[in-house]
Amino acid sequence: MPDSVDTLMESLQSCGVIAVLRAPSPEVALGAIDALVEGGITGIEVTFTTPDAPDVIRETIARYGSRVTVGAGTVTHPSQAIAAADAGAQFLVSPGTERILAESMLDTGALTLTGALTPTEVMLALGLGVHIIKIFPGSLGGPGYLKSLRGPFPEAQFMPTGGVDALNLGAWFDSGAVAVGAGGELVPAGALATNDMADITARAKLFVAALGVWRDGKVT
């Protein structure tokens, strides 16, 4: 039986940082995932721009099981949502919000995140029953923009992606993010191209440390 949406939501929030992975091959993707996990990042979004993304998801689950929360990103067609869910993806992420696609994502039972930037797009996503709204690209407005959106939409769950780094991570959470997506700042294309997995592990550790500082501050 698949996990409930509430359980999946808790898993994503526990990860805090979701690595957005756009790799040139399945082999490089799996190497990067190993590097991320070594650095402490356990939330993995394998985008459909990565060749054979469902196979990468399936192999990641085989390697790490419940140690990771793994999903599919750049979901742009219902067939991709189905393929990712069949591979075991726990969450599905689309860069935008479109009714038929969002409904197909929700129908899989996976935690569903669709992209939005404007209030109108947020309203559309909420109306469709999307679980988390991906604010993308977050770099356009920064943490202040997310905080502004929280005013009219206090019930919404937001995950900014784009423009998130280890230095501003705490500001995103202070502004109301339930998790953050990190792509190039965490898994840079250059490191993937040169197979520099040590760089990815080092970056992962910086993100994990920043998240720990923020969480410690909230506890105290």
Return the active site residues: 45, 134
Tokens representing residue 23 in the block: 């790799």
Burial (CB < 10 A; 0-12, 13-18, 19+), residue 22, is buried
Q: Helices H, strands E: what count in the chain?
A: 10, 8
Beta strands in the chain (DSSP E): 17-21, 43-47, 69-73, 91-94, 111-116, 132-135, 158-160, 180-182
CB atoms inside a 10 Å sphere around CB 160: 30
